[in-house]
């Protein structure tokens, strides 16, 4: 696949809340970046409905994600329409996190309805025994040990 602006760079979108950055996030973003120029869409607090709202403010989370080596650009999500940044970026690939609660087919259908032709795929899980790979696990551990 090639991008729409005439060069051969493939644009890749990853997205998430990124409330507390952890090794699972880094793995996800590194894997997505292997596919091309990585644009990350950071969910706005008011749009997070499937889990507890993030603690860290939107712009602070965006800046943290932007500072990671695999990330070429980090964007805040649109307040009203989650597809607005995707329409602006025009990715060739959208990579979902391995544990994100998104239906790949439903996303592909919504993209097609908007005339966005891109592949939707899922990143692999990061395996390991001792590391904390989810924000919820990190918060639980903090509460267990410090609350």
Domain coordinates in residue numbering, the chain? 11-146
**C-alpha to C-alpha distance for 25 and 17, rounded to whole angstroms:** 10
22 is in an annotated binding site: yes
50 is in an annotated binding site: no
Please give the average per-residue pLDDT across 123-132, as a whole number: 76
- Are 61 and 15 contacting, i.e. CB atoms less than 8 angstroms apart? no
> How does pLDDT run across 26-59, given as a tens digit for each residue?
999 999 999 999 999 999 999 998 888 999 999 9
Strands in 37-42's sheet, in edge-to-edge order, are: 73-76, 37-42, 11-16, 93-96, 119-122
85 is in an annotated binding site: no
> How does pLDDT run across 71-118, given as a tens digit for each residue?
999 999 999 998 999 999 999 999 999 888 888 999 999 999 999 999
102 is in an annotated binding site: no
pTM for the whole structure: 0.88
The domain defined by 11-146 carries CATH number 3.40.50.300 = no
99 is in an annotated binding site: yes
23 is in an annotated binding site: yes
Q: How many CA atoms lie within 13 A of 48 on its CB side?
A: 20
Give the contacts of 22 (CB within 8 A, at least 6 positions apart). Answer: 131, 132, 133, 134, 135, 138
- Give strand pairing partners of 95: 14, 121
Q: How many CA atoms lie within 13 A of 85 on its CB side?
A: 21
**C-alpha to C-alpha distance for 126 and 99, rounded to whole angstroms:** 10
Please give the average per-residue pLDDT across 65-74, as a whole number: 98
The angle subtended at Cα 61 by Cα 117 and Cα 128, nearest 5°, is: 80
Question: What DSSP state is assigned to residue 53?
Answer: P
């Amino acid at each position: 696949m090639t991008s729409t602006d005439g060069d051969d760079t493939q644009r890749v979108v990853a997205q998430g809340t990124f409330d507390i950055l952890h090794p699972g996030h880094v793995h996800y973003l590194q894997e997505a970046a292997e596919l091309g120029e990585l644009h990350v869409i950071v969910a706005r607090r008011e749009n997070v409905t499937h889990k507890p709202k993030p603690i860290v403010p939107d712009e602070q989370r965006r800046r943290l994600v932007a500072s990671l080596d695999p990330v070429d650009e980090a964007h805040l999500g649109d307040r009203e329409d989650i597809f607005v940044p995707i329409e602006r970026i025009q990715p060739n690939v959208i990579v979902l996190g391995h544990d994100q609660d998104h239906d790949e087919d439903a996303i592909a259908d919504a993209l097609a309805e908007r005339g966005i032709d891109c592949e939707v795929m899922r990143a692999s899980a990061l395996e390991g025994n001792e590391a904390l790979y989810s924000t919820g696990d990190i918060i639980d551990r903090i509460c267990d040990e410090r609350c």
